[in-house]
Amino acid sequence: MVSSEEIKDKQAFFDWVEELNKSCKCDAVREYVKINGKADWLHGGFSKPIYRHYKGNFYEYLGEVTDSETSEAKVAYQAVCGQHEVWVRPKEMFFGNVEIDGKPVPRFEKVDLKDLEKQTEKSNGQRKD
């Protein structure tokens, strides 16, 4: 049985997704929820982590794979928006840094949905502390 608190949390989540749609660069969260999220959320949360590329796009981490020719560890990931392309990148590169303005920044950074909510509220000028 679902508690009233869980229902409120889920409704707040869906309200937040709708609000995020208004400001998200590529509607990544909406796309994710449309494809996976509502079912996943209703059954306890998202099943796979979401990462943000340093250029701003969002990707679902599909897992680690091994190159059959070189045995190199790689990461498979899928775009959350657009055509939902699946990409493979060497694991060291995926979790490594790139240099932006002379400073190292993560190529991909794991996204916490609560952090996304805070960023969205800031960008909309609606802080909800």
Q: Residue 19's pLDDT band (boundaries 50, 70, 90)?
A: low
Q: What is the pLDDT of residues 112-127, one digit of tens each?
A: 766 655 554 554 454 3
User: How confident is the model over 42-48, as a mean pLDDT?
Assistant: 51
Closest CA to 61 of 104, 118, 21, 108: 108
**Class of domain 4-124 (CATH, top level):** mainly beta
51: enclosing H helix or E strand: strand 50-53
**pTM value > 0.85:** no
Instruction: Please give the DSSP secondary-structure letter assigned to residue 102.
Output: T
Residue 48 burial (10 A CB sphere; 0-12, 13-18, 19+): middle
% pLDDT > 90, the chain: 33
Q: What is the pLDDT of residues 86-98, one digit of tens each?
A: 999 999 999 999 9
User: How confident is the model over 20-26, as a mean pLDDT?
Assistant: 51
pLDDT of residue 104: 97
Contacts of 8 (CB under 8 A, 6+ apart): none
**Domain residue ranges of the chain, discontinuous segments joined by +:** 4-124
As a whole number of angstroms, the distance between CA 116 and CA 119 comes to: 5
